[in-house]
A and B are shown apart, each in its own frame.
Chain A
């Protein structure tokens, strides 16, 4: 207590103590009163209901609801994110894709792998013994796109006019006995040229197979097509 209030201390001021006791009695008389009869009836009914059906406090109930909602929302977000990334287990991924397809959301579906070249995780034209890998461009294995290993070119000097199909120095008499790009081991003259796999070359669609779809993907041995970076005919002149 501050110094100025010392004289108001109850122990030292019996007169004030008596005043406070009168005030306390007046406060009790004025405010501590029985509830109105209708109010008391309402309160007693609420108490009876509470004995019949103990209620969970509203705040706790709301907290539980909020926690459950947050957990559910987090689960949906996590599952949706994994599904969108296509990293769910195949069965779950397929189920999720089918589930959301009707509402216009397209998710990667592992069940679609065999349907065509547009599959997201398998490059077109790849198959056979070395099916496509998601992180490899079609027709590429180790060193994709080297200009020295232009498609359809074999030997040590790929892309030179004198080795290009039908463009040899003797006026084209030295035609290849196999269609362009389909030498014994198309595109494998150097032994380690790109665009090749170790698998059977001609059985792989789009890999050195005559008539295969032209492709802009480097390393593909498209027959008759100009080398992507080496203009063979112009060098032969």
Chain B
């Protein structure tokens, strides 16, 4: 999930409208955008993803920075689109009331199914559902995108202290759940 040293050249070509460069940027980043939209409870994560990349294309000429900065910019756009989407259509929980995962959020295949089964067995998705919007956003940007505090703060438009507090609370909620259910759920 990284273009590395080629990023600058690919970005320049994409800014000029080169379709291959645009596709490389899309292939490299679409999974993260889609995953962030899915785990945040978007009702149509694929539509959100399309909106994000169209916005990236139209704003590409104004972007300056390296690949890491590009990823932060991309997630900033994604987060804003998600906020609009959730405000308009409401959030769909990752798990239903009976604890099962919504099938179109993450269609399990041979590999993903195991990860999903573990998350479900440990109640992680339920905990994520129970977090506030800000706590969930901070946690997912940390876990999915592996962003440092400073970049999470930039993406969400918050100061670093607030982000640290939100992340602590989210970790605490997960930790409580693991402490309560961990020993039994850990054994399949």
Contact = CB atoms under 8 A, between A and B. Distances in A.
Contact of A54 (B53, B58, B112): B58
A133 interface: no
Contacts of B140: 27
B111 interface: yes
28 contacts: A8-B171, A8-B172, A16-B178, A24-B146, A26-B116, A27-B35, A27-B115, A27-B124, A27-B143, A28-B35, A29-B114, A30-B106, A30-B108, A30-B116, A33-B112, A35-B49, A39-B46, A40-B30, A43-B30, A44-B26, A46-B50, A46-B53, A46-B54, A47-B22, A47-B54, A50-B58, A51-B22, A54-B58
Given A5-B172, A8-B172, A9-B168, A32 B57 contact: no
Contacts of A23: 119, 122, 124, 143, 174
Interface in B85-133: 105-106, 108, 111-112, 114-116, 118-119, 122, 124
A40 B26 contact: yes
A50 B39 CA distance: 27
B155 to A, nearest CB: 16
Interface residues of B, number: 49
Interface of B: 17, 19, 22-23, 26-27, 30-32, 34-35, 38-39, 46, 49-50, 53-54, 56-58, 105-106, 108, 111-112, 114-116, 118-119, 122, 124, 140, 142-144, 146, 165, 168-169, 171-172, 174-176, 178-179, 182
B172 A47 contact: no
Interface of A: 1, 5, 8-10, 13, 16, 19-20, 23-35, 39-40, 42-44, 46-48, 50-52, 54-55
